[in-house]
């Protein structure tokens, strides 16, 4: 039987620790501002969950909803205001943005010290250079989940399937910092199965229901499933065929209850960290 790496349980531990740290603070609590553009139902759910999570740990949060027709210039001036506001320690712009707005220009406008998503080029550079900074929440949560379960990373062969800027690439940088030997696979990778079979740590972030089968995984590997997909029955499943793989690997994250809850927990961690780097009001 493999060990189930429950992100849901670990996220509770993280939130309890944050509540204690918030209670011990002098001055104002950490403050998060979330900008949402348009009325995407999934974004509404995510933003609502972030607001609720902030409340639970005693943060102040502000959600600013803008119409889909808002201009990029107007969003940039709002970000300028939030950059200058001492009660706001973290700024997050909920993706996706409408096509007429550049994700890159928006990410670069947020002050790196308030960039709790870790998308600003300065933070990306700090991550790859091995410097301190704010790093993307999902991969940060994964590394801490593995530490929490005392999973050895140094010297291990890690394969990351997926090379997005949000998950795959920052995951690669973070595992390099943990002294893994890192390979990144993507849609043009030749013989993905062979690559997977070599991995001691396999992280999958593709977005294809149950694409990683039992016969693709090395005995005793640690498997982290980032994917969130609906299968043909409408059930939420990951990128890994859980039932097949869990009898082969030594540890695995379930879907749901695995990586998902870590993302918001580490958004809260990043906001706390951002507050401690900025002058306290």
133 vs 178: CA distance, rounded Å: 16
Q: How far is the CB of 277 from ligand NDP (least distance, A)?
A: 24
φ, ψ of residue 106 to 5 degrees: the values are: -65, -45
Q: How far is the CB of 184 from ligand NDP (least distance, A)?
A: 8
Tokens of residue 102, six digits: 């550049």
Q: Please give the C-alpha separations between residue 152 and each of 20, 157, 183, in angstroms, as whole numbers.
A: 28, 11, 17
Count CB atoms within 10 A of the CB of residue 175.
Answer: 25
Interaction of residue 94 with ligand NDP, rule CB under 6 A: no
What is the footprint of ligand NDP within residues 206-265 (CB under 6 A)? 206-208, 226-229, 259-260, 263
Q: Please, are residues 215 and 195 in contact by the beta-carbon 8 Å criterion?
A: no
Is residue 195 part of the annotated active site? The answer reads no
**Which of 50, 114, 218, 273 does the annotation list as catalytic?**
50
Q: How far is the CB of 171 from ligand NDP (least distance, A)?
A: 9
> Looking at beta carbons only, is 111 or 197 nearer to ligand NDP?
197
Coil vs helix vs strand at 220: coil
Is residue 117 part of the annotated active site? The answer reads yes
Q: Please, are residues 144 and 17 in contact by the beta-carbon 8 Å criterion?
A: no
Among 31, 112, 168, 170, binds ligand NDP (CB under 6 A): 168
Binding characters for ligand NDP, 120-159, by CB under 6 A (x = yes): ------------------x---------------------
Tokens of residue 59, six digits: 């943060």
> Looking at beta carbons only, is 58 or 207 nearer to ligand NDP?
207
Q: Please, are residues 116 and 32 in contact by the beta-carbon 8 Å criterion?
A: yes
Q: How far is the CB of 150 from ligand NDP (least distance, A)?
A: 23
**Which of 117, 200, 225, 239 does the annotation list as catalytic?**
117
> Looking at beta carbons only, is 112 or 258 nearer to ligand NDP?
258
11 vs 52: CA distance, rounded Å: 14
Among 33, 37, 205, 222, binds ligand NDP (CB under 6 A): 205
Question: How many residues in the shown chain lie near ligand NDP by CB under 6 A?
Answer: 25
The residues that bridge with 93 in the sheet, in sequence order, are 35
Q: Please, are residues 270 and 90 in contact by the beta-carbon 8 Å criterion?
A: yes
The window from 23-31, 59-67, 142-150, 202-210 that contacts ligand NDP (CB under 6 A) reads 202-210
3-state helix, strand and coil shares in percent for the chain, rounded to the nearest 5:
40, 15, 40
Coil vs helix vs strand at 38: coil
Is residue 50 part of the annotated active site? The answer reads yes
Looking at the annotation, which residues are catalytic?
50, 94, 117
Kindly list the residues in this chain that would bind ligand NDP in the complex (CB under 6 A): 138, 161-164, 166-168, 185-189, 192, 205-208, 226-229, 259-260, 263
């Amino acid at each position: 039987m493999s060990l189930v790496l429950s992100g849901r349980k670990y996220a509770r531990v993280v939130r309890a620790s944050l509540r204690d740290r918030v209670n011990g603070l002098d001055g104002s609590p950490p403050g998060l501002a979330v900008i949402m553009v348009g009325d995407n139902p999934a974004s509404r759910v995510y933003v609502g969950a972030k607001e609720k999570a902030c409340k639970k740990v005693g943060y102040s949060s502000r959600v600013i909803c803008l119409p889909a027709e808002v201009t990029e210039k107007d969003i940039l001036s709002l970000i300028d205001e939030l950059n200058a506001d001492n009660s706001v320690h973290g700024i997050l712009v909920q993706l996706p943005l409408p096509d007429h707005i550049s994700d890159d220009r928006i990410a670069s406008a947020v002050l790196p010290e308030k960039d709790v998503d870790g998308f600003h080029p300065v933070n990306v550079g700090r991550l790859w250079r091995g410097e301190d900074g704010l790093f993307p929440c999902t991969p940060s949560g994964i590394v801490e989940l593995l530490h929490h379960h005392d999973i050895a990373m140094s010297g291990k062969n890690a394969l990351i399937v997926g090379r997005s800027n949000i998950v795959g690439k920052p995951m690669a940088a973070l595992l390099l910092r943990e002294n893994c030997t890192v390979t990144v696979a993507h849609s043009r990778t030749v013989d993905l199965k062979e690559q997977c079979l070599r991995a001691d740590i396999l992280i999958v972030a593709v977005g294809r229901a149950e694409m990683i089968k039992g016969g693709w995984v090395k005995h005793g590997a640690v498997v982290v499933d980032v994917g969130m997909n609906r299968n043909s029955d409408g059930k939420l499943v990951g990128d890994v065929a859980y039932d097949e793989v869990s009898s082969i690997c030594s540890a695995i994250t379930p879907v749901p209850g695995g990586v998902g809850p870590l993302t918001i927990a580490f958004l809260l961690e990043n906001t706390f960290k951002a507050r401690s780097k900025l002058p306290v009001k």
